[in-house]
Amino acid sequence: QLQLQESGPGLVKPSETLSLTCTLSGGSFSSHSYYWGWIRQPPGKGLEWIGTGYYTGSTFYNPSLKSRVTISVDTSKNHFSLKLSSVTAADTAVYYCARLIDLGFTYYFDYWGQGTLVTVSS
Amino acid sequence: QTVVTQEPSLSVSPGGTVTLTCGLNSGSVSTIYYPSWYQQTPGQAPRTLIYSTTTRSSGVPDRFSGSILGNKAALTITGAQADDESDYYCVLYIGRGISVFGTGTKVTVL
């Protein structure tokens, strides 16, 4: 059974860079059918797509966050990462990693991590 | 900016039917946006319910169904149960690798 697990600091100072890792077990990154994504949810608010990465290095980002986001997939370490720079209190959220299926005729998130809360505060 | 809108809240009686919709500010939603639906209970990660407009994910009860109604994607719960009380989100793929989450609907069963 495929599992995703987020990890990283739960507290980040304003203006610094938020860094999270999502570790994959029970599956492989090296499939042309799967992308690897990050989604966040501020406390009491809705879900927001941050971006997705592909094992070849291709990435796609939310236009509203694009200037601050970097997603990378490390197949040798079986994980993918999120970096969000110049954070503010507005970036406080539960961050989820998820697998995205893209078969050309279907496109959806099928597996999700449990989520990790990141608080931006000095 | 692309905005995907959902009803903020809906209520349904136990055993009743409720339909949630997913609209697009730039036009009509169709199957080419590959609408998918997710259920989220407090403190939990989202759970995939429906993908490609109408396909139920593995293990999802058949009281959940997806469709296109007019110019929106729709999720219908037929024979609602108490544990269907959750937040529901749609996602549309708008191309160029970009996904957009809807604003979410809180469903109350009472």
pLDDT digits (tens, 9 = 90+) for A41-51: 999 999 999 99
Contact A47 B89 (CB under 8 A): yes
Q: Does pLDDT of B95 surpass 80?
A: yes
pLDDT at B84 over 90: yes
- The pLDDT value recorded for residue A41 is 98
User: For the segment A14-54, what is each residue's pLDDT rounded down to a tens digit?
Assistant: 999 999 999 999 888 778 889 999 999 999 999 999 999 99
User: Which residues are paired to B20 by β-bridges?
Assistant: B75
Q: What pLDDT, on the 0 to 100 scale, is given for residue A30?
A: 76
pLDDT of residue A15: 97
Average model confidence (pLDDT) for chain B?
A: 96
- So what's the pLDDT on residue B26? 87
pLDDT value, residue A5: 97
- pLDDT tens digit sequence for A92-102: 999 999 999 98
Contacts of B47 in chain A (CB under 8 A): 112
Average pLDDT over residues B44-70: 97
φ and ψ of B82, to 5 deg: -55, -40
- Per residue in B9-52, pLDDT (tens digit) is 999 999 999 999 999 998 999 999 999 999 999 999 999 999 99
Residue A29: predicted pLDDT: 79
CB A41 within 8 A of CB A47: yes
Classify strands B105-109 and B9-12 as parallel, antiparallel or unpaired. Answer: parallel
Residues of A in contact with B52 (CB under 8 A): 105-108
Specify the pLDDT at position A76: 87
Chain A interface, best mutation among B101, B103, B105, by max A CB count within 10 A: B101
Q: How many CA atoms lie within 13 A of B61 on its CB side?
A: 10
Q: For A77-94, what is the mean pLDDT? A: 96
